[in-house]
Amino acid sequence: MTTSTAPVSSSASSQRLAQLGLVVNALLAVVKLVAGLLGNAYALVADAIESSTDMIGSLVVWSGLRIASRDPDERYPFGYGRAEALAGAVVAALMLGAAIGIAIEAAQEIRTPHHAPAPWTLGVLALVIVVKEILAKRVLAASEASGSTAVAADAWHHRADAITSAAAFIGIAVAIIGGPGWEPADDWAALVAAAVIAVNGGLILRTAAHDLMDRAPGTALQDAVSSAALATAGVLAIEKLKIRKSGTAFYVDLHVQADPQLSLLDAHILSGRVKGAIRKRVPAAAGVLIHMEPYEPLEES
């Protein structure tokens, strides 16, 4: 039986993007809030609220990545990788809370007569859409490269902001073009934005919950581990393959069957070769635990 653990490293670029997102969201929140209040556009105010949750979300993601990058110690022998998934869950909860708050306020605004939004608010929203979509694409690329749930949550948080800003743009444009009687259009746009935020928050929360509850990864990863083990000379069969994700890393637990006549030393050497083959095929496998067992061919009935 051989075990191997390695520090779960988080991408430095992901942390830098989280810091960048924190700064951008803070600036955009202030710009949208001021523009929404001065321009009489509640959809823009709702968007500012969403940006505020984005700002908190980026801070949570950054903190989660920093904690997840710590080396295992006596208190946490399996490392701190779960902090990354926990950060994703917190971001999702923030999105759901923001969606509920925006929906309640938008419903109240719809029932309250008010003036049409100022046309210049459309320019603010256009700028926001471009900035947030660029940031979302960069963060999403980083999440795909690292496999980080928290970074993916941050990316979709940015994209949700771009979508809500687009909804606000449409609502305000309708209110301006439609004239008297169409003033609530931007409030309805805020409701649409709230629905988009809620859906994305629910999807992110589901992914984070899967990671926290050790849900088995996709078949592609399991097949890669199985094929690497079976391709190792001396391995006659495998069974009981278990893989769990912790942060951006995977931990493998595998039972390997070999010649019953192998000495304890030879079995140990073989398990080391299997471990090396798996980690070569799957670099994200930070820990590989191999259980050596005697080969027992299936009897033909």
Both tokens of residue 73?
């110690």
What CA–CA distance (Å, rounded) separates 134 from 158?
9
The 10 Å Cβ neighbour count of residue 222 is 15
**Tell me, what DSSP letter sits at residue 163?**
H
pLDDT value of residue 236: 93
How many CA atoms does the CB half-sphere of 170 hold within 13 Å?
Answer: 11
Per-residue pLDDT reduced to its tens digit, 230-289: 999 999 999 899 998 887 788 999 999 999 999 999 999 999 999 999 999 998 888 899
Q: Is the Cβ–Cβ distance between 93 and 57 less than 8 Å?
A: no
pLDDT, tens digit, 9 for 90 and up, residues 131-180: 888 888 888 887 777 677 777 777 877 787 787 788 778 888 887 888 77
Residue 111 phi/psi, 5° resolution? -85, -5
Exposure letters 256-292 (e unless 16+ CB within 10 A, then b) = bbbeeebeeeebeebbebbbebbbebbeebbbbbbeb
Query: What's the CATH code, domain 219-294?
Result: 3.30.70.1350
- Predicted pLDDT of residue 137: 85
Assess whether pLDDT exceeds 70 at residue 20: yes
User: Cα(58)–Cα(19) distance, rounded to whole angstroms?
Assistant: 7
What contacts 95, CB < 8 A, 6 or more positions away? Answer: 53, 57, 157, 160, 197, 198, 200, 201, 204
Q: What pLDDT does 9 receive?
A: 41
Query: With 50 as the cut, is the pLDDT of residue 42 above it?
Result: yes
Extents of the domains making up the chain: 9-212, 219-294
Other beta carbons less than 10 A from residue 2's beta carbon: 18
CB 171 within 8 A of CB 207: no
Give the domain 9-212 fold.
Answer: Alpha-lytic protease prodomain-like (1.20.1510)
What tokens does 180 get? 């008297």
Helices (H), the chain: 12-38, 42-68, 82-110, 121-146, 149-178, 185-212, 219-230, 264-281
- Per the listing, tokens 């299936």 go with 298
Mapping DSSP to helix (H, G, I), strand (E, B) and coil, where does residue 109 land? helix
Structure pTM?
0.68
Start-to-end CA span in the chain (Å): 32
Residue 2 φ/ψ, nearest 5 degrees: -130, 140
What ranges in 179-263 are assigned the alpha helix state H?
A: 185-212, 219-230
| Helices 12-38 + 42-68 axis angle, to 10 | 160
CA atoms within 13 A on the CB side of 85: 19
Q: Residue 1: its pLDDT value, please? A: 43
